[in-house]
Amino acid sequence: MTALDQASESGETPLLEVRHVKKYFPIRQGVFQREVARVHAVDDVSFTVREGETLGLVGESGCGKSTLGRTIVRLLEPTDGEIIFQGTNISHFKTRRMRPLRREMQMVFQDPYASLNPRKRVGTIVSDPMKIHNLGSRSEQKRRVGEILETVGLSPEHYNRFPHEFSGGQRQRIGIARSLALRPKLIIADEPVSALDVSIQSQMLNLLDDLQNELHLTYVFIAHDLGVVRHVSDRIAVMYLGKIVELSPADELYTRPIMPYTEALLSAVPIPDPDLAEKRERIVLEGDVPSPITPPTGCRFHPRCRYATDVCKQLEPPLADYGNGHLAACHHPLNVDEATLQRVEVAQQHTPAAADESALPQDTSGRSNPAVAPTPDTHSG
């Protein structure tokens, strides 16, 4: 039994399971377009999403969070690993087999200016998904569009307008309306509010919250703003250079970050309170995120980490369970008491000293990762 299994077992069958997903982009050069290097955009990521919950994905630009989102809805095909949606492995489905599943999972994009076709009317934009999936007659579709527009806070009279007649916030509502047209179960929202002003942003966050309650939606919410992510998420995964480095219940991540990267990220968020801002200790991370083409050895965060030691340069820390569904990958965990630390260390000794111990029992092939092997049930108590 490994950390991730335990985390996923607390609920019933998860809606979405991501197992060791990797997405590499080849860099080709020369006449024969030989592959000379790879961008390790998403590198062995595993997590589950339960029905009705919101999983937040945070990280700096280039950490692979958008690529991961696009891979989950299969706009991209994973290089390796499995994406299991409602019990079906959809990792390598072709377009035609994916189509019926697209009704169940939809995406909301970041830029409300670029993600709506300027030549189509709002009604067409929102009803197109229904036409593609042959849902209902023309008049039913039209009625449904009116309903959806009302749900997202627009009015049915907007049916015949063009996107340019709307403000940024309203356009994002249209984007959300389109994603709701097929009554999906899962919505991947990729930075849905980061292009909006704060007052409009809070309207949108409240709307997403209402929709979740009314329509029993499940969200994967991708954002770089830690305040926004905490507000919407039940659980949060922090990504760094293609890997999940910490996964935790939302509030706990902020009160008790284990991974130094999370700590630094939190301390960098500006707080709109001058006195607190002055008192607060600020960890300024030196330098930029390293290149995902040649990620650092060992822990990928070690070149910027103030706690890094030799072990961090050599060994990649496994994603270990610190209890209460709080996972982190670090050799020098913060905010952890002795007892938990010992339990985690014992658990790790029983697993192969490997790059990643989060193997799932059924994954015995070990195709690309020699370290992946069935792990003994070590911490059932």
Partner 1 sequence: MAERLLEVNDLNVRFATEDGTVRAVDGISFGLERGKVLGIVGESGSGKSVTAMTLMGLTRGVNARFEGEVLYKGKDLLQVSDTEMQNYRGNELGMIFQDPMTSLNPVYRIGEQIVEAIRAHENVDKRTARARTIELLRQVGIPNPEVRADDFPHQFSGGMRQRAMIAMALSCNPSILISDEPTTALDVTIQAQIVELISRLKDDFNSAVIFITHDLGVIAEIADEIIVMYAGRVVERGSKRDVFYDPQMPYTWGLLGSIPRLDRPRPERLHTIEGMPPSLINPPQGCKFRPRCPHAFEKCKEEPPLENRVGTPGHLDRCWLDVEFKRGHRDETISGGSVAAA
- Of 86 and 203, which CB lies nearer to partner 1 in the complex structure? 203
Q: Is 238 in the site for partner 1 (CB under 8 A)?
A: no
Q: Is 228 in the site for partner 1 (CB under 8 A)?
A: yes
- 5 CB-contact burial (10 Å; exposed 0-12 / middle 13-18 / buried 19+): middle
Q: Which residues of 240-271 are buried (b: 16+ CB within 10 A; e: fewer)?
A: bbbbbbbbbebebbbebbbbbbbbbbbeeeee
- In the three-class reduction of DSSP (H, G, I as helix; E, B as strand; rest coil), residue 318 is classed as coil
CB of 285 to partner 1, least distance (A): 5
CA distance 92 to 284: 41
199 touches partner 1 by CB under 8 A: yes
| Residue 214 contacts partner 1 per CB under 8 A | no
Which of 153, 374 has the CB closer to partner 1? Answer: 153
**Among 57, 264, 336, 344, contact with partner 1 (rule: CB under 8 A):** 264
CA 108/CA 191 separation, integer angstroms: 8
User: Does 234 sit near partner 1 (CB under 8 A)?
Assistant: no
Q: Under the criterion CB under 8 A, does residue 274 sit at the interface with partner 1?
A: yes
User: Which residue number, 93 or 307, has a Cβ lying nearer to partner 1?
Assistant: 307
Of 19-27, 193-201, 295-303, 310-318: span binding partner 1 (CB under 8 A):
193-201
60 near partner 1 (CB under 8 A):
yes
SS3 at position 74? coil
Angle at 75 between CA 244 and CA 198, to 5 degrees: 65
DSSP assignment, residue 25?
A: E
Distance CA 246, CA 265 (A): 12
**CB-nearer residue toward partner 1: 49 or 195:** 195
Closest Cα partner for 358 from 165, 81, 112?
A: 81
| Residue of 124, 151, 202, 335 interacting with partner 1 (CB under 8 A) | 202
Residue in 27, 277, 293, 341 binding partner 1, rule: CB under 8 A: 277
CA distances from 99 to 22, 90, 95, 144 (A): 23, 11, 6, 21
Question: Amino acid letter at 205?
Answer: L
Tell how strand 186-190 and strand 218-223 pair up: parallel
Instruction: Please state the closest distance from residue 308 (CB atom) to partner 1, in A.
Output: 16
Q: Please give the backbone phi and psi of residue 259, each rounded to the nearest 5 degrees, phi first.
A: -85, 130
Q: Which residues pair with 43 in a beta bridge?
A: 22
Interface region with partner 1, contact rule CB under 8 A, candidates 89-97, 165-173, 292-300, 323-331: 165-173
198 part of the interface to partner 1, by CB under 8 A: yes
Among 69, 64, 57, CA closest to 25: 64
> Of 80-88, 196-204, 347-355, 372-380, which segment contacts partner 1 by CB under 8 A?
196-204
How many CB atoms within 10 Å of residue 114? 11
- Select 132 or 277, whichever has its Cβ closest to partner 1: 277
Among the listed residues 152, 222, 265, 330, the single contact to partner 1 using CB under 8 A: 265
CA 45 remoteness from chain centre: 10
* Residue 227 interacting with partner 1 (CB under 8 A): yes
271 touches partner 1 (CB under 8 A): yes
186 with 15: CB under 8 angstroms?
Answer: yes
Q: Applying CB under 8 A, which part among 9-17, 66-74, 268-276, 366-374 lies near partner 1?
A: 268-276
Nearer to partner 1, 86 or 202 (CB): 202
Backbone phi, psi, residue 278, to 5°: -75, -40
226 binds partner 1 (CB under 8 A): yes
Q: Please tell me whether residue 224 binds partner 1 under the rule CB under 8 A.
A: yes
284 is an interface residue for partner 1 by CB under 8 A = yes
Q: Provide the binding-site residues for partner 1, judged by CB under 8 A.
A: 60-61, 167-169, 197-203, 205-206, 209, 224-228, 230-231, 250-251, 254, 264-266, 268-274, 276-277, 282, 284-285, 287-289
